[in-house]
Amino acid sequence: MKQTLFTALLALVAVVVVKKVVTFVSDKIEVMNAPTMQEIVEANPWTVPADWFKTDTITIKGRIEDYDAEHFGFTSMACYYNDLFEKDNTVLVLDIADDGTFCKKFLASHPVSNSFIADGSKVGFNSIRFFARPGETIDVTVRKVMFDFYECVYNSGSSRDVERWLRTKRKLEGVMKPLWKFDGTFDEANEVADEVWQRAMARLQKVSRSEDYTPMEVQLAMADLQAKFGMDYIGCVVRIANGLVKHEQRDSVWYTEILDSEEWKKYLDYETYAPMRRIDYDNPLLFASSSYDLLQNRVQYAKPVREDMYKGILSEEGGMVVNYENYSKKLANGLTAMRKFMGTDRENLTAQMCVYQEMAQEFDTWRNTGDLLDRLFPQYLDALKTPYIRQKAEQFRDRRLVQTELATPLPDIPAAELIRNLNAKFPGRFLVIDFWGMSCGPCRAAIQASKDLRTEVPKRDDVKLVFIAGERTADGSEAYHNYVNEWLADEETICLTNRDFDRLRELFQFNGIPHYETITPDGRRVREDLRIHGYDDFDYEIMQLMERMK
């Protein structure tokens, strides 16, 4: 009996080993025979519609068959959404009625590929993937296929046209895994990146053929893979760079030491980033990828790009004086640096979007500093050669300039009731709300660094700090309570479920944390350029705000 069992185990091990060897050899052959991006694109011709870029409402509606809230474990779903022409990301909350129906409308400036995700699902379904163009209605039926497996049936809109891609995207995304946990040198990372790229092209060809992708689906999948590749590659580079630096505090002063100066030089060298030049940065289909905002951010903030962007501008202390000359030089330096980084001789779509985002981030500073806006905005506009991007920049400016009110009333929706209740609890005070989370390192760092600064705030009768966090349950985890007891013991703290926290994200239109909001004593939201953004200059900023609000 023992001999038989031993023999069976040996046979099983042999089968596993053979499978692994076959898979390894198959992967190597797949990479060796990988087509080029150009070959795939040319074999699947598809013309981007003339109205690809436009602004209109997208509607996601439908029904979950046999829905029961208790059985499914959720009553809403959330989409972490970024309109590339808005200054900040946000969250969209989709509520599910008792009969399983749902409907969500939102404004979009470009096609969107994203997902609504359920938190705490008890069944084999937790997301609705969709692809939609502005002006479309996507009708989705979620139904059980077998056992605990569910599928999304797309009844209308572009999601129906690309349902094979939506259903099989994960088969493509997995090829990026070697970049996620890579540990080595920059040269070794580039070798891995080259292999990952080849495998991505081979995988796209294989999946698109087996799933019978249309040319439209192939082209969208190609753009999505490019965005994910760039995002994950730069993430890999930054992790390597972080390992080359040692931060140490001595006598209350932080010191930084570069552990390998030769390797650090490669971090600053444009040629290190050669794998990024595989990406077609001028492809309008990139805008539909949920990873494109991060790709754009990675380009805009790549180390050599930022180093050259601020060359000859920064003071000895490392700051930049706010004046026309410095911003003008920063723009020119940045355009040159991005051309070098992306290996192009002109301002492609991605470079223009980086300029657009820079304009959006700096707009309030320009508006509040003499004639900077009148002098700088035309320069930034000149760099936006694409008519639609240029139009959106002008609309952004016009929308901001008509915001003459220093604070605006909160909408009459349930999510705002929490804020109104806080106003009632602390009458006559400005509320400074810190949205944070236990999984957010920068949130905790800001809270801990400000502990001494915050000791004087409770003595004031005109302002109140409120700390709001999201947890799996409103009771909060043990780790949450331990942290609050140590760092926020004397503060007003509120713990919400993650879904209720998402509703506040949607209300205030933010996604990333930490995030700060300032509410007037009469319950109005203070304009973005006037609200408190942290604790370092808290007393000065609150004094300035109160002076403006008189």
Mean pLDDT of the chain: 92
The CATH label, of 2.60.40.1120, 3.30.420.40, 3.50.80.10, 3.40.190.10, for the domain at 56-161 is 2.60.40.1120
> Residue 481 and residue 491: Cα distance in Å, rounded?
13
- Please count the helices (runs of H) and the strands (runs of E) in the chain: 20, 16
pTM (2 d.p.): 0.89
Express each pLDDT in 434-452 by its tens digit: 999 999 999 999 999 998 8
pLDDT of residue 28: 59
pLDDT of residue 317: 80
Which band of pLDDT confidence, cut at 50, 70 and 90, is reported for residue 23?
very low
User: Sheet containing 149-154: which strands, arranged edge to edge?
Assistant: 101-108, 56-64, 137-146, 149-154
Q: Is 318 left (phi over 0), alpha (psi -120 to 50) or beta?
A: left
Name the residue with higher pLDDT: 252 or 387: 387
pLDDT average, residue stretch 531-549? 85
3-state secondary structure of 61: strand
pLDDT of residue 248: 84
Among candidates 106, 122, 123, which has minimal Cα distance to 114? 106
Express each pLDDT in 383-406 by its tens digit: 999 999 999 999 999 999 998 898
On the question of pLDDT at 328 being above 70, the answer is: yes
Q: Say whether 407-549 and 56-161 share the same fold.
A: no
Torsion, Cα 60 64 70 73, to 10 degrees, reads -60
> Residue 423 and residue 418: Cα distance in Å, rounded?
9
Return the bridge partners of 57, or none.
107
Which band of pLDDT confidence, cut at 50, 70 and 90, is reported for residue 93?
very high
Express each pLDDT in 121-131 by its tens digit: 999 999 999 99
For the chain, domain boundaries: 56-161, 301-402, 407-549
Express each pLDDT in 369-379 by its tens digit: 999 999 999 99
On the question of pLDDT at 486 being above 60, the answer is: yes
On the question of pLDDT at 24 being above 80, the answer is: no
How far the first Cα of the chain sits from its last, in Å, is: 90
Q: Angle at CA 215, nearest 5°, toward 210 and 219?
A: 100
Q: Which H/E stretch holds residue 60?
A: strand 56-64
Say if residues 350 and 295 touch (Cβ distance below 8 Å).
yes
pLDDT average, residue stretch 529-538? 85
Pairing of strands 137-146, 56-64: parallel
Among candidates 511, 479, 508, which has minimal Cα distance to 495? 479
Tell me yes or no: is domain 407-549 CATH 3.10.20.740: no
DSSP track, 8-19: HHHHHHHHHHHH
Express each pLDDT in 271-296 by its tens digit: 999 999 999 999 999 999 999 999 99
Count other Cβ atoms within 10 Å, centred on residue 518.
Answer: 22
Among candidates 167, 177, 169, 165, which has minimal Cα distance to 27? 177
pLDDT of residue 542: 87
Among candidates 94, 132, 232, 112, which has minimal Cα distance to 172? 232
pLDDT of residue 26: 56
On the question of pLDDT at 528 being above 50, the answer is: yes
Express each pLDDT in 158-188 by its tens digit: 999 999 999 999 999 899 999 998 999 999 9
